[in-house]
């Protein structure tokens, strides 16, 4: 006849005294309390492994931290796992590992993993530095050491409040976007099930969109005259003219390399890696643009960049903000920024009556229609040659007016 085990009681457990040797108090169905000579009382569950059928045991913790009722509940949970073919010991280890990872997978750690992938996305180095720096300044101090699983929308909103208080709503929007990229990465790799930061921008006012300051086309001679009236380095003036004539963005112009230029075909091909929209951009070069290259050839023809830095190391290009500094220097601060050259060109070309699609193609604005975009690329190049030549003459005339005004 099988021996009947009398279930334990709290009184029996409390009154159990340690001896020179370990002994056990059985509760039945594999659960027992181990009494150690030190006085420790440890709950253990004895069972057969589902696969090997070998006997083993798993600890449920110490009494009284784990009460008799708690230990019995753990036994029932273990029996449920065994009924499903799951080893309670392996399940416990996996759960402990999961909790350890949750605690140690902080926002900053996950952001670092995300950033490693982000760094391979062909973004410019300056952009990548700006992204990471914004997280270091505005997010990590508040939530960097918080486990990713514990973060709520309120945590991120609190982190962004100082930026809001400074009126930097554009920065709030940018940083919130970067927070969301990190959190969606955490979702995609399985650390969290949903992104609690998905709608945090709704907690802030929308930034007021301000157009970048730019001149009217008829005001261009005024700028050219002002530039002529101050002592600006020849290389800086050439970069300014190059950006104006090619209708490119500041960084695209400043980082021009000689191997991107085809003098014979009068074309400048900017690789996708340097373009904002990550698509190769081909620019027909007007005679005036080619003249700039002729000026720069003796200066930088032996170097990689057409407009190399005037400071050591000369292997780097000029800073994209050089033209902006020149514009401020001649008294146009608040009236014009370098990016505004594109607006001047767009206005002049539209008022002249050039086809809007051709102008948009020249500005490297991406058409949302795939078929039309392919057509634009194939057909508009010749039309753009004519348009860029007209624009080159327009800029040259503005320079002549400058000269005439100085007589």
* DSSP sequence for 110-154: HHHHHHHHHTTS---HHHHHHHHHHHHHHTHHHHTTSBGGG--HH
Model pTM score:
0.56
Count the neighbouring beta carbons within 10 Å of the beta carbon of residue 18. 14
Is the pLDDT at 139 greater than 90? The verdict is yes
Rounded Cα–Cα distance for residues 47 and 382 (Å): 82
For residue 34, the cross-strand partners are: 24, 42
The catalytic residues are 249, 276, 339, 342, 365, 375
| Mean pLDDT value of segment 347-353 | 94
Residue-level pLDDT at 406:
47
Task: Compute the mean pLDDT over every residue in the chain, rounded to the nearest whole number.
Answer: 88
Tell me what percent of the residues of the chain surpass a pLDDT of 70: 92
Helix (H, G, I), strand (E, B) or coil at 288: helix
Per residue in 288-328, pLDDT tens?
999 999 999 999 999 999 999 988 877 899 998 999 999 99
Q: Which of 358, 354, 351 is nearest to 377 (CA)?
A: 358
Contact 328, 236 (CB under 8 A): no
Contact 60, 44 (CB under 8 A): yes
Residue-level pLDDT at 403:
44
Rounded Cα–Cα distance for residues 306 and 318 (Å): 9
- 41-45, 207-211, 261-265: range with lowest mean pLDDT: 207-211
At 404, the pLDDT band (50, 70, 90 cuts) reads very low
Residue-level pLDDT at 203:
92
Per residue in 70-84, pLDDT tens?
999 999 999 999 999
364: left (phi over 0), alpha (psi -120 to 50) or beta: left
Name which residue leads in pLDDT, 183 or 91.
183
């Amino acid at each position: 006849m099988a021996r009947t085990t009398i279930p334990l009681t709290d009184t029996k457990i409390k009154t159990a005294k340690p001896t020179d040797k370990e002994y056990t108090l059985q509760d039945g169905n594999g659960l027992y309390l181990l009494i150690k000579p030190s006085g420790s009382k440890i709950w253990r569950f004895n069972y057969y492994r589902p696969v090997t059928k070998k006997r083993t045991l798993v600890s449920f913790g110490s009494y009284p931290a784990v009460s008799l009722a708690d230990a019995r509940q753990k036994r029932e949970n273990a029996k449920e796992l065994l009924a499903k073919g799951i080893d309670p010991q392996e399940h416990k280890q996996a759960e402990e590992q999961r909790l350890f990872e949750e605690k140690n997978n902080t926002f900053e750690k996950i952001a670092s993993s995300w950033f490693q992938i982000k760094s391979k996305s062909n973004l410019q180095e300056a952009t990548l530095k700006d992204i990471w720096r914004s997280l270091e300044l505005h997010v990590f101090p508040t939530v960097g050491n918080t486990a990713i699983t514990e973060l709520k929308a309120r945590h991120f909103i609190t982190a962004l409040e100082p930026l809001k208080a400074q009126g930097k709503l554009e920065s709030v929007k940018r940083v919130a976007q970067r927070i969301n990229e990190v959190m969606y990465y955490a979702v995609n790799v399985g650390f969290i099930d949903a992104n609690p930061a998905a709608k945090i921008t709704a907690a802030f006012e929308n930034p007021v969109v301000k157009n970048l300051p730019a001149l009217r086309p008829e005001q261009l001679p005024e700028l050219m005259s002002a530039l002529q009236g101050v002592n600006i380095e020849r290389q800086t003036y050439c970069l300014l003219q190059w950006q104006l004539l090619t209708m490119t963005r500041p960084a695209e112009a400043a980082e021009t390399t000689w191997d991107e230029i085809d003098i014979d075909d009068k074309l400048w091909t900017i690789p996708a890696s340097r373009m904002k929209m990550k698509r190769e951009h081909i620019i027909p070069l007007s005679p005036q643009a080619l003249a700039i290259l002729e000026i720069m050839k003796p200066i930088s023809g032996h170097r990689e960049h057409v407009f190399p830095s005037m400071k050591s190391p000369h292997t780097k290009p000029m800073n994209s903000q050089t033209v902006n500094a020149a514009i401020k220097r001649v008294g146009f601060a608040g009236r014009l920024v370098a990016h505004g050259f594109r607006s001047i060109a767009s206005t002049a070309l539209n008022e002249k009556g050039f086809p809007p699609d051709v102008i948009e193609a020249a500005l490297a604005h991406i058409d949302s229609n795939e078929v039309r975009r392919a057509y634009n690329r194939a057909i508009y190049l010749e039309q753009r040659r004519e348009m860029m030549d007209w624009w080159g003459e327009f800029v040259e005339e503005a320079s002549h007016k400058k000269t005439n005004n100085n007589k």
